[in-house]
Structure 1
Amino acid sequence: MKKLFLLLALALPLLPLYAQEPAIIPAPLNLAMGEGQLDLTAGIALKVSKKDTAATAVSAMAIKWLEKIAPPSKNSKARFVIQTNPALPAEGYRLEVNAAGISLQGGSGAGLFYGLQTLMQLNQPWKGAPTPIIPYATIKDQPAFAYRGMHLDVGRHLFPVEFIKTYIDMLARYKMNRFHWHLTEDQGWRIEIKKYPKLQEISAYRKETLIGHYNDQPHQFDGQRYGGYYTQDEVREIVAYAAERFITVIPEIELPGHAQAAIAAYPELGCTGKPVEVATKWGIFEDVYCPSEATFTFLEDVLSEVIALFPSEYIHIGGDECPKVQWEQSELCQKIIQEEGLKDEHGLQSYFIARIERFLNSRGRQIIGWDEILEGGLAPNATVMSWRGEAGGIEAAKQGHDVVMTPTTYCYFDYYQSTAEDEPLAIGGYLPLQKVYDYHPVPESLTEEQARHILGAQGNIWTEYMPTPEKVMYMAYPRMQALSEVVWSGKGKKGFGSFVQRLQPHLKWMEQEGIQAANHLFDLQAEVIGGQGAPVALSFSNMAGAGEIRVQVGRGREMAYDKPLRPVDGTYRAQTYVDGKPAGRSTSIRFKQHLGVGQRIELKHLPHPKYNGSKPAAILNGVKGSNERYGDAEWIGIDKEDFDALIFFDEAKKVSTVSFRFFHGPGQWINAPREVKVFALQEDGQYIQVGSRTLPVPEGKILEATLELRQPAATRGLRVLAPNYGIIPAGQQGAGHRGWLFVDELIIE
């Protein structure tokens, strides 16, 4: 019987409850701590020139903060001087705290505001009651990127005005300066347009809402009417509130796709003219705006009212996920394609967006849209939000267009942030805190000149599975704080270990304030390492890199863990302990030894980078992936291509069966294959087919199948083939496209 090697060792070093370095997020560009601290028990005298309007505005905010720790006092020896300094960058600031008091200079009102946020964090009120003690420090700071954004979708779920304000408060606290407000969707129109009252009467409401995940079949609905919208007065209130905090609100009015809610109210805007309902489930819908003169009149009227409400230079026009089926069948669309000399329906989309751009440009505004606006040719002055990876942003930057990076891999906060089985329902994918933090928005493939077009990055909150403000907070924080350091501190950020230390008091502060952030710092993660011809081992760690980790195998006793261990068949449970008490969530991983574990594997088509693209060995490591999620460390995802693998054994092995596991999620363009084939490597180097099987249509999310091989014989290798499902049929999400193929553990016995 194999022995399990577990070494008893000293516990990992425990992080202090509060960071030793100042818990400032995002990290300043240049910080020097002094020896000593400023005691404001006797108060402080505020010094601001009445002629300095920016400083006067920020001083009013400073007074509200000071009232909590040390009331302003004209007779105090300590002085708090606030002034603008045109020599500094507009969003930059210089902050000094010393025996004489506090000096805050900023290149503009924004710079002063950001300096004040840093000062408040330097004071660390989360230690308990507000304290009049501030450590001496000299800080010189400015942002790495001009665009530092967060998005919020209110089309799927609507949130109260007060929550929108608290969301803006959080963005401001961490020096974000753009709020992308996604206002229209297939499932609801959320902004009052006075010229078109049916948008409020019909488009703002859906008759019911999907229950559970889109992939759950058959679909179930709650039967409850849902909806609402923001009045123009409420919009003005929110825009003004954001402006006071130096945040620009960018509205998004989706076009030409994601328009079913509007078409439900005004069927003449679509290509069929037939009545439709506001969508009740998530996904992409074929009812899109038809490029008729009536549609352009409608959109120009809508945008005219939007422009009057939002002073933002940018108006976001969407441009993403626009099916072309109805355009292909429309006589009007085909006539426009012919008359305008367009190549195809993608060219028609470019024509559509270019017309809207000309209108917005005539009103002194610029368009920004998702990277699909590149298809068919980019509108002349457009800025691109690159969400389908970075390729669209790279292409746009090379063409001389400005870009905001927001790739799903790093910036979609509707993805799962933990692999724990009890993690709240999310759309899919996996985006842990460290992956957000490790992002850098400027691709290395760009020249220095091209890189100047990368304005910054944005985190996206899509709310299909976020029906409440509490769920939004859980999904947004602290990933938003990590992104704030990405876009403010840039490549100069201190590193994830430092960030985690500084984050701990912020999590405590959010808890005290009733902000329901996700705290996964002590959650344990299990990882299978090795493979590709090397032995596999199990590794356990937590994000904090601290506490004592204990591992239990089966029903055995817990033992201290300090280095990766060689596994045998069984279930491994691990838990972090802090001060002898469990901290964070435990993890459990089941390992099964089989002939393929640790063997070398080559794939003809590499997995997508988002889904284990660099780790094909994950499917030969003895561990199965989640039954609910395809974005964990065990599934590999191949886009549009076949799963075609060569497996090389370290010695000849007699193989009798190969068991397969595929994910099936039609709502997300994922289909299990129709068949599998296995080939054995012969002594002459050729492969001969030794088994095949037609697979059934999956009844749920997981399709498992075992293939018994003909005439089992010793072989040094296998070829395993599972062809891509092929073209997605009509009626499914992604119809007309080749979708994804997700493969889990191959069990070879």
Structure 2
Amino acid sequence: MNKAVVGSVLLFLLFVAFGCTEKSKTVFSQEDIHIVPQPNDLKLNQGAFEFTPDTKFVVDGKYAEVVNFLREKFNRSANWELEVVTAAPANNFVELVVDTSLKEEAYVLEVSREKVTIKAKGYSGFLYGLETVRQLLPVSIESNTLVDAVDWVIPNVDVSDAPRFKWRGFMMDVSRHFFGKDYIMATIDQLALLKMNTLHLHLVDDQGWRIEIKKYPKLTQVGGFRVDQEEKPWNARPTPELGTKATLGGFYTQEDIKEIVAYASSKGVNVVPEIEMPAHVMSAIAAYPELSCFQHQIMVPSGGVWPITEIYCPGKESTFAFLENVLLEVMELFPSQYIHIGGDEATKTNWKVCADCKKRVRDEGLANVEELQSYFIKRMERFVSSKGRTLIGWDEILEGGLAPGATVMSWRGVKGGLEASEAGHDVVMSPTSHCYFDYYQGDQNLEPLAWGGNLPLSKVYKFDPVVEEMTPEQAKHVLGGQANLWTEYVPTEAQAQYMTYPRLAALAEAVWSEKEDKEWLDFSRRVSSLFERYNVLGINYAKSVYQVSMEATVLESGAISLVLESEFPDSDIRFTLDGSPLTATSEQYSSPLTIDKTTTIKAQVFKEGEPIGDLFEKTITYHKAAGKPVTYINRYHDSYQGAKDLGMVNVMRGSKNFHDGQWQGWLGDDMELIIDLENPTEIKTVTIGSLENQGSGIYFPVGVEVFLSDDGNTYKSVGAINRPYAVNSSSELKDFVLEIGQQSARYVKVIARNLGTPPTGGGSWMFIDEVVVE
């Protein structure tokens, strides 16, 4: 029996069962259920429960607050004041039942025609059961204004659910750019929707101190503000002169913090404060120079700082007195068991020459400044532990030896987590590869400026806090995982939302759902429904997942095979090859395309007949060297091989994402190669495509030269471009075009000269994506 027939039969049965005087209910299928994160166990039954103005919430007084968010949603969207009672009526009610046999945060949801029952051990379990009910309701429940003609029904289901990990976190960097209290609370709402339970606030960094400390008022008076240089690139902002008026910034008063913490508690979210030390503290030193080794007067930096040498002096007792006083006030405000102290990226140049630090090293019998950092962290850990709390820090706190009670947050890959868990320490996994939301999530040419790297939704979804190398005993020390939004390149709340959603949904499922229950195709269906909620909520979520990408392969015939795809499987991709506009009636992509001439491709994902996501438009220059044999005299680096031997002639151009698989890289070396055109060929121009991203150590060639030969032995130079090094704070694509007139040759030799050693020292990368011969 087909789906349509089944649906008709079920609808008829419901009509008979409810009687002809009652409004008919929706018939649900498994495809109608879009819960994120995926519950552990869900059974769909026949029938539905309908919310009406008379629906009651049956709640013990202890948990009365937990139902308020759903009551408020019905009040705004349906103009209903749903009543809370302590005794159940005959039917039409939602009841919360305490079940002490369930685990913490677990819940059981049972929906029938007469009632909805949520069983849980405590507050969080009830909250998550109600959040599941919220996601079963029509998306109109998210409306802030009255919505007409909505059937407020949910399917009859049995759900048994519990989280895989107890730390399901999201970090917001409010130091680099400050976000107000209301935005923090809105973020907490979204964490609760996705059953995430930890908000990590990065309250302190070089560029801003964001929490009021009453004992040290200058921390916010001075450290909370910087000179406004937002019009300049983050890493190209000069150091302001002492005394320049600082106007950009802000901070949370202690009353703000109390309000945030209380609101988070009502949403089942624990707020973990991070007070950086010993580095990333120039905002504190600007306020109190005596905290540093040499007590220099400095300004709060307006942008990037590297290396970070102005850090706390661990040789002075006054430094530790300051930090203990700060943490005492912090711990009064935050009930969190965990207190994050940062601990990352401390350049210890000053410690090596500071008299106080050298004395501390001697007095404590330390071997070097790495052990001095360990002394620093261990001392702070003893203080935090003495107050009944647990110290947590980035994986650099492992250096020189880890404090016995510390927990490690592993960000530089998984190595820190492996090392700490092997030593018996708890860990939170937060590797850059899967958890850094300041990375791009789509085509860099279409996305807002970001830190770098590429972290699409599908890759976030693959995140697993337990890595293969861990033993079962080590896995027991994995508390969970966390996404991090660093905000150097995120100046506004709208952009913060764009970088966060929907990737947060993928992370939420990665840390809640059992590994074997995860399936990308199913998630892509469910998260699409979440987008509809974001639309109603006015959340500026990224649609990068709908972007079309293209992969090219050179065929034996010399033609190019093109594969079009988006992250969501089975997307409806429409395309044109003649440059004409795209419409819903344009040809639908179904199999690889073959081209053998210069072609402009337009492609876009369509949904329900409407375009969605960005338009993909690319001109494939089918040039005379396409697919021809290439001999590398100086071969590319193993780390950046592009399309290997065809990389320079596969007609695919690289993007600003240097990990996109199109770039070939040379580290400190020149590129030298020869292209065999196989027959004497008329040539007018040779173009060499290159990328510069100085922040990542990638520099344009300082010169390119082209040689031609008829026999492959004797070459003559036919053109050269010299380009001296110049400071460039942006990521930039550049074609070096050599007009060589009308010449004939079989062999083309190209040399691109590497900068060699950049001003910052070390070796320079040179990236080339194509040699175009026309």
Counterpart in the other structure of 1:606:
638
Counterpart in the other structure of 1:7:
none
Counterpart in the other structure of 2:111:
97
Q: C-alpha displacement at 1:391, in angstroms? A: 2.3
Is residue 329 from structure 1 mapped to residue 353 from structure 2 by the alignment?
A: yes
Structure 1 pair 556/81, CA: closer, same or farther in 2 (3 Å)? closer
Counterpart in the other structure of 2:383:
359
Out of 542, 552, 556, which is 2:577 matched to? 552
SS state at 1:191 partner: coil
- Between 369-378 and 161-170, the greater mean CA deviation after superposition: 369-378
Mapped to 1, the partners of 2:627 and 2:311 lie a distance apart of 49
Alignment of 1:314-713 (within 5 A): 314-419=338-443, 421-529=445-553, 536-544=560-568, 545-554=570-579, 559-567=587-595, 568-592=597-621, 593=623, 595=625, 597=627, 605-607=637-639, 621-626=650-655, 629-630=657-658, 632-635=660-663, 660-672=688-700, 696-698=724-726, 700=728, 701-702=732-733
SS state at 1:176 partner: coil
Is residue 108 from structure 1 mapped to residue 122 from structure 2 by the alignment?
A: yes
Alignment of 1:43-58 (within 5 A): 43-50=54-61, 53=62, 55-58=63-66
Is residue 290 from structure 1 mapped to residue 310 from structure 2 by the alignment?
A: no
Structure 1 pair 643/703, CA: closer, same or farther in 2 (3 Å)? farther
Q: C-alpha displacement at 1:722, in angstroms? A: 7.1
SS state at 1:135 partner: strand
Mapped to 2, the partners of 1:692 and 1:295 lie a distance apart of 59
Counterpart in the other structure of 1:88:
102
Mapped to 2, the partners of 1:207 and 1:97 lie a distance apart of 57
SS state at 2:32 partner: coil
Structure 1 pair 261/620, CA: closer, same or farther in 2 (3 Å)? farther
Instruction: Check the 8 A contact 2:138/2:152 in 1, yes or no.
Output: no
SS state at 1:148 partner: strand
Mapped to 1, the partners of 2:738 and 2:102 lie a distance apart of 69
Counterpart in the other structure of 2:182:
162
The one-letter amino acid paired with 2:577 is Q
Instruction: Check the 8 A contact 1:621/1:745 in 2, yes or no.
Output: no
Mapped to 2, the partners of 1:604 and 1:625 lie a distance apart of 15
Q: Show CA shifts across 1:605-626 (max 9, x none).
A: 4327xxx899897665322223
The one-letter amino acid paired with 2:107 is Y
Mapped to 2, the partners of 1:532 and 1:287 lie a distance apart of 59
Mapped to 1, the partners of 2:503 and 2:628 lie a distance apart of 34
Instruction: Check the 8 A contact 2:668/2:764 in 1, yes or no.
Output: no
Instruction: Check the 8 A contact 2:273/2:339 in 1, yes or no.
Output: yes
The one-letter amino acid paired with 1:249 is V
Q: C-alpha displacement at 1:217, in angstroms? A: 9.1
Alignment of 1:72-83 (within 5 A): 72=83, 75-83=89-97
- Between 509-518 and 243-252, the greater mean CA deviation after superposition: 509-518
Q: C-alpha displacement at 1:85, in angstroms? A: 1.2
Q: C-alpha displacement at 1:270, in angstroms? A: 1.4
Structure 1 pair 693/380, CA: closer, same or farther in 2 (3 Å)? farther
Is residue 199 from structure 1 mapped to residue 219 from structure 2 by the alignment?
A: yes
The one-letter amino acid paired with 2:124 is A
Structure 2 unaligned blocks of 5 or more: 1-28, 142-146, 712-717
Counterpart in the other structure of 1:15:
none
Counterpart in the other structure of 1:186:
206
SS state at 1:119 partner: helix
Mapped to 2, the partners of 1:459 and 1:113 lie a distance apart of 22
Is residue 256 from structure 1 mapped to residue 264 from structure 2 by the alignment?
A: no
Counterpart in the other structure of 2:133:
119
RMSD of aligned alpha carbons? 4.1
SS state at 1:664 partner: strand
Q: Tell me which of the two structures has the higher relative contact order, counting C-alpha pairs closer than 8 angstroms and 6 or more residues apart.
A: 1
The one-letter amino acid paired with 1:537 is S
Counterpart in the other structure of 2:21:
none
Mapped to 1, the partners of 2:701 and 2:355 lie a distance apart of 37
Q: C-alpha displacement at 1:577, in angstroms? A: 3.6
Counterpart in the other structure of 2:43:
32
Mapped to 1, the partners of 2:624 and 2:161 lie a distance apart of 56
The one-letter amino acid paired with 2:571 is A
Query: Please, what TM-score do these two structures have when normalized by structure 1?
Result: 0.84
Alignment of 1:139-178 (within 5 A): 139-178=159-198
Counterpart in the other structure of 1:11:
none
Q: C-alpha displacement at 1:512, in angstroms? A: 1.6
Query: Please, what TM-score do these two structures have when normalized by structure 2?
Result: 0.81
Instruction: Check the 8 A contact 1:590/1:623 in 2, yes or no.
Output: no
The one-letter amino acid paired with 2:315 is S
Identity across aligned pairs (percent)?
37
SS state at 1:241 partner: helix
Q: Which protein has the larger Cα radius of gyration, Structure 1 or Structure 2?
A: 2
Instruction: Check the 8 A contact 2:237/2:302 in 1, yes or no.
Output: no
Mapped to 1, the partners of 2:314 and 2:203 lie a distance apart of 21
Mapped to 1, the partners of 2:237 and 2:628 lie a distance apart of 36
Instruction: Check the 8 A contact 1:251/1:310 in 2, yes or no.
Output: yes
Q: Show CA shifts across 1:523-566 (max 9, x none).
A: 32233356899975222223343224112345699644322223
Q: Show CA shifts across 1:430-458 (max 9, x none).
A: 22211211222221121222122222211
Counterpart in the other structure of 1:275:
297
Structure 1 pair 536/491, CA: closer, same or farther in 2 (3 Å)? farther
Structure 1 pair 646/723, CA: closer, same or farther in 2 (3 Å)? closer
Structure 1 pair 564/345, CA: closer, same or farther in 2 (3 Å)? farther
SS state at 1:423 partner: coil
Instruction: Check the 8 A contact 1:214/1:667 in 2, yes or no.
Output: no
Structure 1 pair 246/22, CA: closer, same or farther in 2 (3 Å)? same
Q: Show CA shifts across 1:122-155 (max 9, x none).
A: 1233386553311100111111111100111111
Structure 1 pair 552/707, CA: closer, same or farther in 2 (3 Å)? closer
SS state at 1:239 partner: helix
Mapped to 2, the partners of 1:679 and 1:388 lie a distance apart of 44
- Between 32-41 and 64-73, the greater mean CA deviation after superposition: 64-73
Q: C-alpha displacement at 1:589, in angstroms? A: 2.1
Structure 1 unaligned blocks of 5 or more: 1-17, 684-689, 730-734
Mapped to 2, the partners of 1:613 and 1:251 lie a distance apart of 43
